[in-house]
Amino acid sequence: MFFPSRKLSQRLVRFPAASLAAPLFVLTSVCAVDTASFAGNPVVPEPAIYEMLPVANPEENRGDAFPQSVFVEGDPAAPPVLHIALSPEPPENLMLIARCYDFWNHETGSVEIRRAPGNGRYSLHPGVRSSGWYRIEVTATLDTIPIALKRKTGDSRSLETYRWLPFAIVPRPHDAATIPDSPFGIDTGVSSGAAWMPPPAWQAEMAWLTGCRWVRDRMDWMRNNPSRDTFDWTQPKSGAELLARHGLRVLQVIQRPLPAWMQPPGGSGNSFPADLRNAYAYAASAVRNLSPEVQAFEIWNEHDIGHYSDEPPDSYAAMLKAMALGLRHAGVSIKPQRQRQQLPLALLGPFGRNPEVGGYSRILGANNIAPYLDAYSFHTYQPVGDGGFDRILETHMKTSRDMGFGLPSNDKRTLWLTETGKPYGRNRIPDPRTAMEEQLTYLFESHMEAFERGVGPVFTFWLTPYYGSSLSKPKDRILLQFGIMDSHGAPLPAYAALARMTYELGTARLLNKQTINGNRIYLFNTGEADGSNVALALPPAPSGTKSRPPSRMRLPGLSGDTVALDVMGNPLSVSHDAGGLFLETQGFPVYIKNPPATWQSVSTQKAKGSAASSAKTSARKSDLNLGIILRVVYPRGHIDKDPKRVETNWDGLNSNWTPRGYLYTPGETIQATVEIYNFNEKTASGHITPDLPDGFTASLETTSFTVPSMGRMTAKLSIQTPTHTPPDPASASTENEPLWLFRGHFDGKDTTPGASRWRVKPIATTANVKPRAYVFALADKLQPTRTLTYKRTQEGRELRLHLFEPTNLNTNTTASSTLPRPCLVAFHGGGWTGGSPRMMYPFADEAARLGMVGISVEYRLARPLPDAAPTVFDSVEDARSAIRYIRAHAGDLGIDPARIIACGASAGGHLAAATALFSEINDPADDLSISTTPAALILLSPVLDTSPAGYGNAKIGPRWRELSPVEHVTRNLPPTLVFHGTRDTTAPFAGAEKFQSAMLRAGNNSRLVVAENAIHTYMFKDADRYHETLRQMESFLREFGFL
């Protein structure tokens, strides 16, 4: 296969120092050579090892200068030049030699090396000029002794292990005027604003050089719409303009985090707007400001998984309708001024996993979202070759038809695949050659499987590296690095192959597919003016073996005049043996220009899956009043948040599912609110009709409504549930499960309905079911007064404070009589890797009852080592950031900054203690002049010792002493109250004893409440112990003047 190991001759060449020629490009990767592979030569010890690093070209003199290792074929002004720098700076007599190899492991000629004056910089000038993917291997000697050159990755999370310098020479992409559209797309972060992303201009250029016509980009709702009627489109507008200058079409993703001012009570950045008019306004403003550069919008990324959404599908459907109308109405309003501009496309937010799980897609279909949209979209990373990828495509084709999107075709793209790809760096495949080969194979297989079904555009995920993992159990975890460029922005073979595929196939209009001698032949019309066709021949489907041996492709119709190209665009000769004519492809696809006429005469195959199901029949758009949107707002406490009932692992990636519906208790009455929005230009009048399953009755305060243009009307709704218990829905099919429907009829036309799924709340029936902790049962019934963002991480995640504010000012506490009030800041437990702010709601609510402000804090959850981030150190930084934010905004929150009490349970108790103890652990973005030390500490079964004898040593790693409270006790710490059980085997009681002794020796006021024979977090398990803990907490707070 390609990249077999080869022994290199030890021909050493001394290159004198020379000035660098200009203009030069900067290397985007660094190299290591295992000098131990050179038999008979000793390796210099560690002090003589040099790191090879990428450097920017000083002559570019631009603030956004970034390494460049992709070059355009036939561009004499910019021949391939790679830059490296050795660290530490080597002596003048260090000798380097470099050799260049192509994708097929053929040596391509000499590489000139020039050394720049000072700084240990070198430039490498390979002589190759033809298109393809290449690697340069560099060796070094000092006085004839081999020197080790270590490759340093561009990101600590990177899984790159290869030891070479990659670069690519690609064909200049087709001009947008010649090939205005194609089904090829690339996923980027041009507008993300993330600090870890390469400069936007560089990303735009690299996206263009792939030859893809579509680029998928992302924008930040919270940044774009920070307050009501305030919009900032600077970043996405700049990104779209950069991409448009290259003739690229932009698909922009509308996604979280939702701005705090727009969130529903008890919601989060993963929730949908409380008022749909704000969703409409955001979408309309996006079109007015980002058109014509942005041609399509996806409405909320992967709304079906918990990472992106915490709302059921009926809530998503209502927001989707409002945003689609905003996109469409704004597009219509600006079209008279921009005559040639097409209306922006509105796409369903992509499914991240199986759309049928838990009946999710069925519920969306019941809300009849298809009339609002132009296309359906989805993501998959399912491997090819075992039938799994085929099954996923078939599932989405069936689902899209069932929802009313119709069959896709070359002329009507109704089914988009907006993320797919194979990671090239995996801890289970240490040899990068195998991973790279699989990634390149996946590129061709996935695109052809999709095109055969009319699916497109297909977007390769991702341009630059994206790091993740599959499976949730540490022993099964596979680390992943997606992207067709590496951590220094150097291309992988798949990048060069994609650039060649887009160039050869042009508009990629599939004419037919046929199988000849086991080879799969896809015939395309390229869209060129001469009407030429090209065939892409794929060898027999992958058999599952990890290496693909060289193979000969035999195809009837080949001749000595056949023009064939390999995956990199290099000519292939037709050879002859006893079996006849063949092409030597080494098991990879091949392009055949102007294929035999017999291939072109084959009629177009019937698209796979076209008969799997018939398209849903629904009312025409003109028969519906799409401007009226119905939404029923149910109490959030009824949302079914148990993901285990529907969780599956569809394509090997980890996921937590969004709620699929709601739960009720037989015989209860549910109070809700019906909302009617009118996004039409005129006032609308009509009525609402409930359509509930047998046994349920609905009572509306009114059924007739007159709603002004851009207005909202509401009505109270009461639903009486039946007293009998239906069969267990977990074991029933979701296909025929009854839904709660509300139908509208306004101005003589039906509206699309509002539909939701309700199931009876499960009741434990077996003796071995573990009872739910008392405190958690209380927490399920509580909602904060409001939430607000206290921090945004470098990755763009929004961290929130959940506030419980006192409502009765006439309490008997001294704190309630005047502002500002004391504040209890609570941190939840979960071993730093689990849990949520809701776990501490009862304690925050109790603080509010006492006249204080209670706050439960969201913080980043650590990932198991050896994952790079987040870590327990990040959790500690967040805890200290929360105290700083509360103290800095105390005036706005009605809080006395001198009376902030930090409280926490288990690992949350550790974080509460961290606010007073770990002065060296801080987020660099924080204002360090603001103290994090609270006025008091209340710690519930806390982690106080992180040594091997305590808790958390394996999670923290070798730096555990930095985060062990018993190691950081000093004088002048705040008054502390610790609750701990003697039978605590999670955070051993011995740690609490050691901490108490250290506190007393230092002269601090510390109290240890010993609960004999009690287990970890005993006060959460039992009602009596919980209330006794509250009583002791209140006594402590009164003693020190907080109440």
What whole-number distance in Å separates Cα of residue 526 and Cα of residue 287? 32
Give yes or no for a cis peptide into 870 (omega within 30° of 0): yes
- C-alpha to C-alpha distance for 554 and 1036, rounded to whole angstroms: 85
Contact criterion met (CB below 8 Å) for 365 and 404: yes
In the prediction, which pLDDT does 898 show? 95
- What is the Cα–Cα distance from 248 to 343, expressed in whole angstroms? 17
Helix (H) / strand (E) containing 460? strand 458-460
In the numeric block, the tokens 């002329």 are attached to 411
pLDDT(17) > 50: no
Average pLDDT for 928-939: 97
* Residue 280 clears pLDDT 50, i.e. is over it: yes
**Pair of tokens at residue 441:** 């194979």
Question: What number is the average pLDDT over the span 398-405?
Answer: 94
Contact between 1023 and 997 under an 8 Å Cβ cutoff? The reply is no
Alpha-carbon span 980 to 1001, nearest angstrom? 20
Give me 133's structure tokens. 């993917």
Q: Return all residues near 294 (Cβ < 8 A) that are at least 6 apart.
A: 236, 240, 250, 251, 252, 286, 287, 344
Does the structure show a pLDDT above 70 at 27? Answer: no
pLDDT, average across residues 221-241: 95
Rounded-to-integer distance, Cα 730 and Cα 751, Å: 31
Q: Which one is predicted more confidently, 509 or 652?
A: 509
Tokens standing for residue 589: 């696809």
Angle 108-113-118 (CA atoms, 0-180°, nearest 5)? 160
Give residue 957's pLDDT band: very low, low, confident or very high (50, 70, 90): confident
Indicate the fold that domain 776-807+819-1039 takes in CATH.
Rossmann fold (3.40.50)
Question: Cα-atom radius of gyration of the chain, to the nearest Å?
Answer: 32
pLDDT of residue 542: 62
Spatial CB neighbours of 1009, under 8 Å, sequence gap ≥ 6: 977, 978, 979, 980, 1032
Residues 882-892: what's their mean pLDDT?
Answer: 96
Domain topology for 509-600: Immunoglobulin-like (2.60.40)
pLDDT greater at residue 545 or residue 101? 101
The residue to which tokens 């040596």 are assigned = 107
Cβ 331 vs Cβ 631: under 8 Å: no
Contact 828, 841 (CB under 8 A): no
**Domain-wise residue ranges, the chain:** 35-170, 184-423+443-467, 509-600, 628-760, 776-807+819-1039
Compute the half-sphere exposure of residue 749: CA atoms within 13 Å on the CB side of its CA: 15
Kindly give, in sequence order, each residue whose CB lies less than 8 Å from that of residue 654, ignoring residues fewer than 6 positions away. 469, 470, 471, 472
**749-750 vs 786-792, strand pairing mode:** unpaired
Which pLDDT belongs to residue 591? 97
Q: What is the DSSP string of 885-904?
A: HHHHTHHHHTEEEEEEEEEE
**DSSP 8-state code for residue 736:** S
**536 DSSP β-pair partners:** 522, 591
pLDDT tens for 672-707 read 999 999 999 999 999 999 999 999 999 999 999 999
What's residue 158's pLDDT?
86
Q: Of 392-396, 732-736, 795-799, which gets the smallest average pLDDT?
A: 732-736
* pLDDT at position 225: 96
Q: Are 658 and 311 in contact (CB under 8 A)?
A: yes
Q: Which residues contact 492 (CB under 8 A, 6 or more apart)?
A: 133, 166, 424, 436, 439, 483, 484, 485, 486
> What average pLDDT does the chain have?
85
347, 296 Cβ separation under 8 angstroms: yes
Give the C-alpha separation, 426 to 159, whole Å: 7
Task: For tokens 């797309």, name the residue.
Answer: 185
- Residues 727, 737: Cα–Cα separation, whole Å: 11
Separation of alpha carbons 589 and 446, rounded Å? 13
Do the strands 294-299 and 376-379 form a parallel or antiparallel pair, or are they unpaired?
A: unpaired
Helix (H, G, I), strand (E, B) or coil at 174: coil
d(CA 520, CA 384): 15
- Return the CATH number of the domain spanning residue range 35-170: 2.60.40.2550
Question: What is the pTM assigned to this prediction?
Answer: 0.74
Identify the band that residue 18 occupies on the pLDDT scale cut at 50, 70 and 90: very low
| Identity of the amino acid at 365 | G
Top pLDDT among 652 and 168 is at: 168
- What is residue 634's predicted lDDT score, i.e. its pLDDT? 97
> Alpha-carbon distance 893 to 821, whole Å?
9
Question: Contact at 8 Å (CB) between 940 and 827?
Answer: no
pLDDT of 192 > 90? The answer is: no
Which pLDDT tens digit goes with each residue over 994-1030?
A: 999 999 999 999 999 999 999 999 999 988 899 999 9
- The amino acid at 360: Y
In 3D space, the residue among 718, 782, 740, 732 whose CA is nearest the CA of residue 762 turns out to be 732
In sequence order, what DSSP letters do the residues of 544-608 get, joined into one string? Answer: S-SS----EE--TT--TT-EEE-TTS-EE-EEEETTEEEEE-TTS-EEEES--HHHHTSPPPPPT
The identity of residue 746, as a single letter, is: F
| 628-760 matches 509-600 in CATH topology | yes
Q: Which of 20-24, 168-172, 537-541, 638-642 is the least confident region?
A: 20-24
Report d(CA 130, CA 667) in Å as an integer. 76
Q: Which two tokens stand for residue 439?
A: 């990634």
Tokens representing residue 1003 in the block: 């002269």
749, amino acid identity: K
Q: How confident is the model at residue 819 (pLDDT cuts 50, 70, 90)?
A: confident
* Average pLDDT score over residue span 724-741: 67
CATH number, domain 184-423+443-467, options 3.40.50.2300, 3.20.20.80, 3.40.50.300, 3.90.1150.10:
3.20.20.80
CATH 2.60.40.2310 fits 628-760, yes or no: yes
**Alpha helices, DSSP H only, in 453-562?**
493-505
The pLDDT value given to residue 267: 85
